[in-house]
Structure 1
């Protein structure tokens, strides 16, 4: 298995999806909507639950989600 991709919270897009930027320069986003309390206020367990809906993105912060991601390939930076 290749090296894991570290993702960092990058914000919320216009459709209220949580967006992350990987250390590979690519964007990833959830298809589940951002919680009202904000991503940063979620517990570690809640963040992991939200990440289950992580998808690749077409290369832009506001791009469309594409394919589901295998979470075993990612590390969430705090």
Structure 2
């Protein structure tokens, strides 16, 4: 019998989606897949239980917020 899984897909848009996705990559686990589609970063997270999924989504969103802020700061610094 296979274990049930829980899945969440998050799609966010960014001015520099490839850079944001690359910044997130080191923190992604084997249970996460990230792709860039136009200006969107799409990440799917699969976990065995809802609590683990919620924790992974929360961690991902914190990392995403930081990655996007760093990209924005770098862009603003180089393009005053």
Q: TM-score, normalised by structure 1?
A: 0.33
Q: TM-score, normalised by structure 2?
A: 0.32
The structure with the largest strand share of the pair is 1
The structure with the largest helix share of the pair is 2
